[in-house]
Amino acid sequence: MKSELVYLCLLWALSILGAPVNKQRQRVLLISFDGFRWDYDRDVDTPNLDKMAKDGVKALYVTPPYLTITSPTHFTLLTGRYIENHGVIHNMWFNTTTTEKKPYYQTQFVNEWWDNGTLPIWITAQRQGLKAGSLHFPGTASSYQGQVAMVREVEPRLYNYKNETAWRENTDKVMGWFRDQDLDFVTLYFGEPDGTGHRYGPDSPERREMVKQVDRTVGYIRHSAKQHGLTNSLNIIITADHGMTTVYRNGQVEEITLSKIPGFSFSDLSFHLVDFGPSGMLLPKPGKLEKVYNALKGSHPHLHVYKKEEMPERLHFAKNDRILPIILWSDPGYVINGVLQFNKGEHGFDNQEMDMKPFFRAVGPAFHKNLKVGPFETVNIYPLMCHILGIQPEVNDGHLNATKHMLVTSTTTQGEFISD
């Protein structure tokens, strides 16, 4: 009788404090299918994505940060910070003094590019007693303040991102990490349908076939979770870094070719990041900033040119020393032909453009079932994951209020930390 009284008193105290009464362990698997646009399920039969929506939550779409390219937007998912705040401002590491640049894959191994003051959720979770891992997710190769994701795998150079057999093997590997190494949080990256969208275009039959492969994989992911005994504890969040839009070609429009713009010369630049897409950054030589800016501003009706300090605040892409003094981007369908390119699909445009919006699905014990929600920014996924895991988030730009309506209030997470 005495022990029962003590138990009842403990329950009463916990309820007064607002603490969980019946703690149930919650794990999180964050998955990114690179370049999966919000509407890619509309022209393809996607039974597994549809079932995931019925069993969980589907957002109309989500809005990534600007610049809408792979590494910066993925680091926003990991940190909940806009790109100007986390500092991974481009897929390519660069040095304006030596003019050296490294491509996407090599940049994964430039530690100081990633480790510049902002901690990804892997490290935050581990510092608070949880176990975290990552497979192929951008940023995995780096250490942060001397720490790494405790279980991690980086894809080899020249990796085949389209191999469906490898997708299934990687899925089983990650589920094994949860079961056999008792992990609480894992990030998993797939490099499609981005590559197919680039090569063939977002409206191509090849892209539609790749979406079918993604859908099959979503079904396999859920099946593997069940086979590994994780259904009652694992929350699966699937999203992407950005969308994709069709590039105008073959004389359809007046192309944007910087070298042909009157008054502009690459010889007036000390350094530039204009590769083959819709965006770029320029570092004019001393005394040449106004000349370069004035030559480009208004030079093409579909080219946007800003001095760094004049960037629209909504883009959150100005307040960082790594961002160069002049920023360019084009309207959807147009590319800046600093270098000739042949892609039929591109991303990197304004994040308000609908073609840049990714998809979002979530399923698991923490989430409502058969719930459709309106759009939200991807910075808000970080505080959502922290809340489910019961960890105190780092300083971030997201808000739990943007996503907490997705959660089953009776489902207890390990903590009650709110980032607002």
- Give the number of other Cβ atoms within 10 Å of residue 418's Cβ: 14
**Measured CA angle at 211 (ends 205, 217), to 5 deg:** 145
Contact 308, 323 (CB under 8 A): yes
Contact 59, 378 (CB under 8 A): no
pLDDT for 415 equals: 41
Contact 386, 124 (CB under 8 A): yes
The CATH number assigned to the domain with range 258-342 reads 3.30.1360.180
Domain 27-247+351-406 is found in CATH 3.40.720.10: yes
pLDDT for 22 equals: 35
Q: Which of 46, 68, 70, 118 is catalytic?
A: 70
Region of residue 316 (left: phi > 0; alpha: psi -120 to 50; beta: else): left
pLDDT for 417 equals: 38
What's the rounded Cα separation, in Å, for the pair 46 and 38? 13
pLDDT for 412 equals: 41
The encoded tokens of residue 410 equal: 């009776």
Say if pTM beats, i.e. exceeds, 0.85.
Answer: yes
Those residues whose C-beta lies under 8 Å from the C-beta of residue 3, and which sit 6 or more positions away, are none
Using H for helix, E for strand and C for coil, what is the string for the chain?
A: CHHHHHHHHHHHHHHHHCCCCCCCCCEEEEEEECCCECCCCCCCCCHHHHHHHHHCEEECCEECCCCCCHHHHHHHHHHCCCHHHHCCCCCCEEECCCCEEECHHHHCCCHHHHCCCCCCHHHHHHHCCCCEEEECCCCCCCCECCECCCEEECCCCCCCCCCHHHHHHHHHHHHHHHHHCCCCEEEEEECCCHHHHHHHCCCCHHHHHHHHHHHHHHHHHHHHHHHCCCCCCEEEEEECCCCCEECCCCCCCCCECHHHCCCCCHHHEEEEECCCCCEEEEEECCCCHHHHHHHHCCCCCCEEEEEHHHCCHHHCCCCCCCCCCEEEEECCCCCECCCCCCCCEECCCCCCCHHHCECEEEECCCECCCEEECCEEHHHHHHHHHHHHCCCCCCCCCCHHHCHHHECCCCCCCCCCCCC
Locate the domains of the chain by residue range: 27-247+351-406, 258-342
| β-strands 279-284, 269-273 pairing | antiparallel
Measuring CA to CA, which residue among 262, 329, 275, 282 is closest to residue 302?
329
pLDDT for 251 equals: 76
What's the rounded Cα separation, in Å, for the pair 280 and 366? 41
- Tens-digit pLDDT string for the chain (420 aa): 444 444 444 444 444 333 333 357 899 999 999 999 999 999 999 999 999 999 999 999 999 999 999 999 999 999 999 999 999 999 999 999 999 999 999 999 999 999 999 999 999 999 999 999 999 999 999 999 999 999 999 999 999 999 999 999 999 999 999 999 999 999 999 999 999 999 999 999 999 999 999 999 999 999 999 999 999 999 999 999 999 999 998 778 888 999 999 999 999 999 999 977 899 999 999 999 999 999 999 999 999 999 999 999 999 999 999 999 999 999 999 999 855 678 999 999 999 999 999 999 999 999 999 999 999 999 999 999 999 999 999 999 999 999 999 999 744 444 443 333
pLDDT for 21 equals: 33
Known catalytic residue at 79:
no
What's the rounded Cα separation, in Å, for the pair 49 and 186? 20
pLDDT for 339 equals: 59
Q: Which whole-number Å values give the CA distances from 90 to 114, 211, 255, 277, in the listed order?
A: 11, 26, 24, 12
pLDDT for 389 equals: 98
**Measured CA angle at 94 (ends 260, 65), to 5 deg:** 85
CA end-to-end span of the chain: 43
- Give the number of other Cβ atoms within 10 Å of residue 22's Cβ: 9
What's the rounded Cα separation, in Å, for the pair 257 and 57? 44
